[in-house]
Amino acid sequence: DIQMTQSPASLSASLGETVTIECRASEDIYNGLAWYQQKPGKSPQLLIYNANSLHTGVPSRFSGSGSGTQYSLKINSLQSEDVASYFCQQYYDYPWTFGGGTKLELK
Amino acid sequence: EVQLVETGGGLVQPGKSLKLTCATSGFTFSTAWMHWVRQSPDKRLEWIARIKDKSNNYATDYVESVKGRFTISRDDSKSSVYLQMNSLKEEDTATYYCTTSGSYGDYFDYWGQGVMVTVSS
C-alpha cells in the first residue's frame, strides 16, 4: 500500500497569514492526489483533486501543487472559517489511502 | 443539490452484523461509482469499499482489513448504496461515510453526514 505522510500534524497561524501543508507519498503517485477539509463535527469536504484542480465552490485562496511524491496545500490570507483539519489522499493506486491529517488552529 | 444520507449505525457486539444504507439524490446515481470511507475515533480516515456502475458490471473492491466480512451493494432503482458488515470487530468502531467518486479518479467529491458504528461488548 502507498503510505501518505502529512506534515505538520498541527499548525497554529494568524488571520491573513499564508499556510502550507505538506504531503509525501511513499512512491510516485503521478498527481493522483486530493485534499480535504474537515471542520469539527462535520464530514470531510473535497478542496483539490488531480493535485492542483480546485473543486467547485472552493475559494481561490486554496491551491495545490506538487508532483512525484511531494505535494502541498497552500491557504492564502487565512480566514477564521479555515480552522479545520486537512487530509491528503492518493488515488493513483488501490487501495486509496489518506494522510494522517493536519489540524489548523488560529494563533 | 447532491445529498447523501447514511442510516443504520449503532452499538453492536463483536461478531455480530449490521447493515448501513446510504440514500442519495441530486445526481445520476445509476452511472456513479460509490464508496464507503470510515473515520476511526483517532480521526484517521480509511477507504473501505467501492462499487462501480452497471456498465462496469457492478464490480467491487475492498480494503484488505474488511475483505470477506463486508459487502458493498447498490440498488439503482432506489438510488441507494449499502454496506453489509458481518463478523464485526472492535477495530471496526468508526464513523462511516458514503461518498461519490470523482469524475477524474477515485477521489471523493461528495460525502454524507456519516453514521456512527460502535462495536463493543
Q: Which of A43, A46, A96 sits opposite B47 (nearest CB)?
A: A96
Let me know the angle formed at the C-alpha of A37 by A4 and B6, rounded to the nearest 5 degrees. 100
Average pLDDT over every residue of B24-53: 97
A57 close to B (CB below 8 A): no
- A&B contacts, CB < 8 Å: 57
Q: What pLDDT was estimated at residue B37?
A: 98
Band (pLDDT 50/70/90 cuts) for residue B103 is confident
Q: pLDDT tens across B57-89, in order?
A: 999 999 999 999 999 999 999 999 999 999 999
Average pLDDT over every residue of B38-45: 97
Q: What pLDDT was estimated at residue A31?
A: 97
Average pLDDT over every residue of A25-39: 98
DSSP letter at B36 equals E
Q: Mean pLDDT across chain A, nearest whole number?
A: 97
Q: What pLDDT was estimated at residue B94?
A: 98
* Dihedral angle computed from the Cα positions of residues B98, B100, B101 and B107, in that order, rounded to the nearest 10 degrees: -60
Band (pLDDT 50/70/90 cuts) for residue B104 is confident
Locus of grid cell 508532483: A67
* The pLDDT of residue A63 is above 90: yes
Q: pLDDT tens across A67-83, in order?
A: 999 999 999 999 999 99
Q: What pLDDT was estimated at residue A3?
A: 98
Q: Where are the beta strands (DSSP E) in A14-99?
A: 19-25, 33-38, 45-49, 53-54, 62-67, 70-75, 84-90, 97-98
B44 close to A (CB below 8 A): yes
* The pLDDT of residue B4 is above 90: yes
Average pLDDT over every residue of A21-49: 98
Band (pLDDT 50/70/90 cuts) for residue A52 is very high
Alpha-carbon distance of A71 to A35, in angstroms, equals: 10
Average pLDDT over every residue of B9-28: 98
Contacts of A30 in chain B (CB under 8 A): none
Q: For the CA atoms of chain B, what is the radius of gyration?
A: 14
Q: Mean pLDDT across chain B, nearest whole number?
A: 97
Region of residue B88 (left: phi > 0; alpha: psi -120 to 50; beta: else): beta
Instruction: Mark yes or no for CB contact A44/B44 under 8 Å.
Output: no
Alpha-carbon distance of A51 to A32, in angstroms, equals: 6
